[in-house]
Structure 1
Amino acid sequence: MGMIFSLILLLMMKLNNLWEMRFWFMMIFTFFTLKYLGSEDWGLYSYYLYIDILSSILVLLSFWISGLMLLASYKGVKQNNNKMMFFSFVVLSLCMMIVLFFMMTSLLLFYLFFEMSLLPTVMLILGWGYQPERLRAGLYLMLYTVFASLPLLLGILMISEKNGSYMMDMFKYNKMNLNMSMIWLGVMLFAFLVKLPLYSMHLWLPKAHVEAPIAGSMVLAGILLKLGGYGLIRFLSTFSFMNLYFDELIMVICLWGGVLTSLICVGQSDIKALIAYSSIGHMGMMAGGLLSKFMCGWEGGMLMMFSHGLCSSGLFCLSNMLYEKINSRSLFLYGGMLNVSSSMSLFWFMMCISNMGAPPFINLVSEILLFISLYLYSQMLAIIILMMVFVGGLYNLVLYVSIQCGSYMSFYNVVYSENSSEYLLILLHLIPLLMFLLNISYLSGVM
């Protein structure tokens, strides 16, 4: 509760060095949140706020990514004085809404913060985007998410009217009879599947990523996609949706969509669109692990949410560094970066192998757990899994080789320069991916 009041105070303050103060407070809050990782299985309550093993790791990720958003935007916003105070205000308000969403026990407030997080994201895209097409990208984002989540509101109101409470624990521990058709339950989950996004409902994601500034891409990939995954986990556990007759259909769409988006990634020339499409495959695999209803699938899904948030955000930071220096996102114009900056080439290599799920990163453990749960669910899924692993490794290698190998352009030597804040930004993405491997048994108490 004190953390929330501190965030509200930071939003209302007006100081000259407010940007730096907000950045440091976000990073400090991250270390404060570490104490919640050791909370008991039943969690901690404070009025309407509730934090347990499941939500604490996502609150930690939200504070960390929000602080790195300010660090990544230092050159583009702070040094160029591009509505600097308003930008940090939007980032901080977005972080507060997401943290409150992860900590809510009331279904109505849960829905409210789920929708409110959309407003600062659209403001980031419209206010600091690159091309005029950002208006269409913002419209896609609004229409897809608002249209899909209105049935969720109706479902919440119907459930609460029948059972006389909005609190999730009343449904979880009392096991009340919902007396609702399975169609309504599926429609309620539809809002989270669009936010995830499920394949065939994903068109808003590449458009929003391509037109968003670096902070918008980081928050979309690092945190906002996790709202759908977290909502899916909470609803499946709270209402005991263990007998869904359409889970096979959703699982096949998720996994086959992951294969198709991986194939799209192989043929992509826009580097941001490539990273955005790779997120759809990873989140589809995570949703498949959740719907398999095996414990290893739930643990692998949570690990995938954490590792993908850091890995995808780091890849967007690396692509933005190239964009700021060369003013192009086309893979055809890159090449030979290994000759220009070998240290940054190492970071590219580590992020790419992390994205494909190779050791020594936490992504490997998450993908192994998800593959085990999917194989236990149906042995026929092994074919799709093998295809996804092969094509996932292929597009990451294509991305790395296209940028780092080959002959380099003559203007690189004039344009290309690096500073220590860029190295710090990438290291702050890589270090948690390596450190979390030391406490891999943490998630064994998620449910």
Structure 2
Amino acid sequence: MRREAVAVAVGSVLVVAAFVIPHLDLGIVTPLINATPERLRSFADTAPIFGWWNTHVGAGTIPAFAIGAAAVLWGPPLAQRLPWRWLPWLSWTVSCAWAFSLAMVDGWQRGFAGRLTARHEYLRQVPTVTDIPEALRTFAGRILDYQPDSWITHVSGHPPGALLTFVWLDRIGLGGGAWAGLLCLLAGSSIAAAIVVTVRALADEDTARAAAPFVAVAPTAIWIAVSADGYFAGVAAWGITLLALAVRGSVRRPVAAAIGSGLLLGWAVFLNYGLVLMAFPAVAVLLGAATWRAAVRTLVPAVVAALAVVAVFAAAGFWWFDGYLLVQERYWQGIANDRPFQYWGWANFASVVCAIGLGSVAGLGRVFDIAAIKRRSGLHLLVLGALLAIVVADLSQLSKAETERIWLPFTVWLVASAALLPPRSARWWLELNVIGALAINHLILTNW
């Protein structure tokens, strides 16, 4: 228990410091500089979480409490007894219901249907895309701000795959915030199933069963429903899952799984520039291969498939590296210039603690196991890969604030570390996660 206690103590101190320090007038160690009181309230009221203090309840309150209580009381034993073929499906179903109920605490319009229709969101740009090939050819030229035809904030900050997704959804007759939200909810909540399947492939079935309740009611659900980053995280998660299944030979056609992994991870990079950092979890999965030959047999088709996605976008007129360089300029044209690294460089990690819950932080205390790392334990390596991706993202200074949402593709894997907790204490850590998620969602009106 010593490692869990140390991890939770460090995480708790980090969160308390991140919430308290903005109110101590410590100069540049603040979430926002050059700001009026009104601007501070708008963008840093509940730093390190992006939102506003607002104690509230809603239509989702009772379902959320019921799902959380049921997960704590019956989740662990049910996960142990349920036939395996049903466990990923149940994990996905519970995660979807949990995320939707948390969203509905803020109401149907504010919490779900209207989230992706805000003025900076993708759906505001969808009606302007009348010629998809032309939009792709001119995409990079419209990234920088202060131009007559600049893309709106979220569109400019991401590769064209994100916008294309919602344009395609609209073209097939599923336009509007509710359908877009449903896509993000289903893709994001499917991460629970992806993690369970991955943990079984990299560790064993007992470990996967231990992880299931934690990933089903993870606090990350607050930001999965309904932000586009939930969709991005879902795509990336299944890319890692297919990679794990391929490298461990857990499927009949490992080459096909490797190709599928490459296509998904390649597509993910065109949803979010930061998802190039999924290379760290992917390499971690390959390092856990039984033999180097198995790793190479998986790596080659996966890389070829990912490069095929790059080639398609290049042929359509969008070069990823051009977009990435321009989006860095756009980043510093905005509010990022007033968010000092002296605060966010460490407060970002406090938002990670809030997103994964203290129960998962306790699990992280067991990831730093030298013996397990030396024997190339797949789960340990995968979680460490996700942690490394987060550290690199933080040091890039291109992720300052809102990381509870932006880092979802990485933080969801940290929740899996709870499977390493001793069974006798797992339920208490799960309860702590549920309580934390309910508290955040009812005390803070989150922006996402």
TM-score scaled by length of structure 1? 0.33
